[in-house]
Amino acid sequence: MTELENLYNSYFKDVYLFIYGLSGNKHIAEDITSETFIKAINSIGNFKGTCDIRVWLYQIAKNSYYSYLRKNKKLVSMDSLPEQKDDLDIEKKISESDESMRIHEILHSLNEPYKEVFTLRVFGELSFKQIASLFGKSENWACVTYHRARNKIKLRLEGYK
């Protein structure tokens, strides 16, 4: 297996979940994920190794997603928020398939940077330090933003009991 195949196989799911968390749309997530790896492969020589390669891929994915939005000049909107069954821990709900779509829909309705920070932390499993680096902010900012996003999601879920 080549290094590029290894890169793709190792990080495809992470990048896909990150973009799906931002877009809420499987087709957009697939397209942007593919575009991300094409761009990464074409510019792998520019990767300096000063950050984790996953952080570098997320930055490419984020920029590709925002370029997609600018080109299409539309934001995918939510028609309605779903009902909530119970009040389990938010991170545990992410892994449960029935609740996962509800979480994604609510997550998609959040404003930036809450949506991005939560997605990077939960789906991307990045540290607060890595998230802060992506945004050019402090580690404390990343932590506070994540917890605010988490609380917003919990409140919206509690509203649908």
| Predicted local distance difference test score (pLDDT) of residue 142 | 92
CATH topology for 1-76? Rna Polymerase Sigma Factor; Chain: A (1.10.1740)
pLDDT surpasses 60 at 125: yes
- Residue 104 neighbours by CB under 8 Å, 6+ apart: 20, 21, 24
pTM recorded for the entire structure: 0.56
Torsion of CA 143, 111, 113, 15, to 10 degrees: 100
Higher pLDDT, 78 or 67: 67
Higher pLDDT, 93 or 109: 109
| Predicted local distance difference test score (pLDDT) of residue 80 | 34
pLDDT surpasses 60 at 110: yes
Per-residue tokens: 86: 């119970």
For the chain, which residues make up each domain, given as ranges?
1-76, 79-161
CB 82 within 8 A of CB 69: no
Q: Say which range, 61-65, 121-125, 132-136, has the weakest mean pLDDT.
A: 121-125
pLDDT tens digits for range 8-56: 888 888 899 888 888 888 899 999 999 999 898 888 878 877 777 888 8
Backbone dihedral region of 138: left (phi > 0), alpha (psi from -120 to 50 degrees) or beta?
beta
Average pLDDT score over residue span 91-118: 71
pLDDT surpasses 50 at 102: yes
Look up the CATH number of domain 79-161: 1.10.10.10
Residue 92, H or E segment = helix 90-95
CA 77 to chain centre: 17
Q: 113: cis peptide before it, omega within 30°?
A: yes
How many Å apart are CA 154 and CA 88, to the nearest integer? 10
pLDDT surpasses 60 at 157: yes
CB 65 within 8 A of CB 32: yes
| Predicted local distance difference test score (pLDDT) of residue 160 | 60
